[in-house]
Amino acid sequence: MLIPCIDLQRGRAVQLIRGRERALAVDDVFGLLERFKRYPWLHIIDLDAAMSKRPNGALVRALIERARKTYGFKVRVGGGIRTIRRARELARLGTEQIIIGSAALRNGKINAKFLRMLAEQPGRERIVIALDTARGCITTHGWRKRHLVRAADVMLEFAAFCSGFLCTDVDREGTMTGANLKWFRELRRATSLPVIAAGGIRSRREIRALDRMGMDAAVGMAVYKNRLF
């Protein structure tokens, strides 16, 4: 299943190459909901919050409300969710699932106390852990901080606290160079939980291949540029 993404930066929907270079920006963020309405799920990611900059809080709230009430999307939200309070606020807004990235690790180790509290409320079934990888290792804080930990090696430990994983291949993110199916197969072998694949996806053939593995595909650049073939 294809899942479209709305990545927010300074009030605009953007697409970045490898998390660094901005390739495009869309001012009419709400117009994207109409464009993506045929898909059941939507990802909303606050990149500014992920990078510890001024968050797009009001815009995120408005997008969640309209996406759910007007278009019937199921919504996953991520980006800078580092407190129990923020996670529970998003749950109260009706967010089906909350993506936890940087806060899932502390000093390179699993932040078990924090994740245990999230698993209790808003609940394990609503928590998705982001394991984004650059040069083979997990990267956090808007892909600026690198940990000497491989995603496949920690999935089993994380599984007690979440209902699935969002795994982004940062080295290919925004490049439209094709999905690293070998890496995604490795991740599939490491966990029985649902995995959402992201990074470099450019074709429906790749989406079908991921679907056969039991993975959904979060797609950005190829959808925005109408180059998904």
Q: Which residues are catalytic?
A: 7, 132
Fill in the amino acid letter for 78: G
Show Cβ contacts of residue 37 under 8 Å, excluding neighbours closer than 6 positions.
71, 73
Note every long-range contact of 48-55, with CB atoms under 8 Å and residues 24 or more positions apart, other chains counting: 48/8, 48/9, 48/10, 48/79, 48/80, 49/79, 49/80, 49/81, 50/78, 50/79, 50/80, 50/101, 50/102, 50/141, 50/142, 51/80, 51/141, 51/142, 51/144, 52/80, 52/141, 52/142, 55/79, 55/80
What type of residue sits at position 59? L
Contact 217, 206 (CB under 8 A): yes
Count other C-beta atoms under 10 Å from residue 51's C-beta: 18
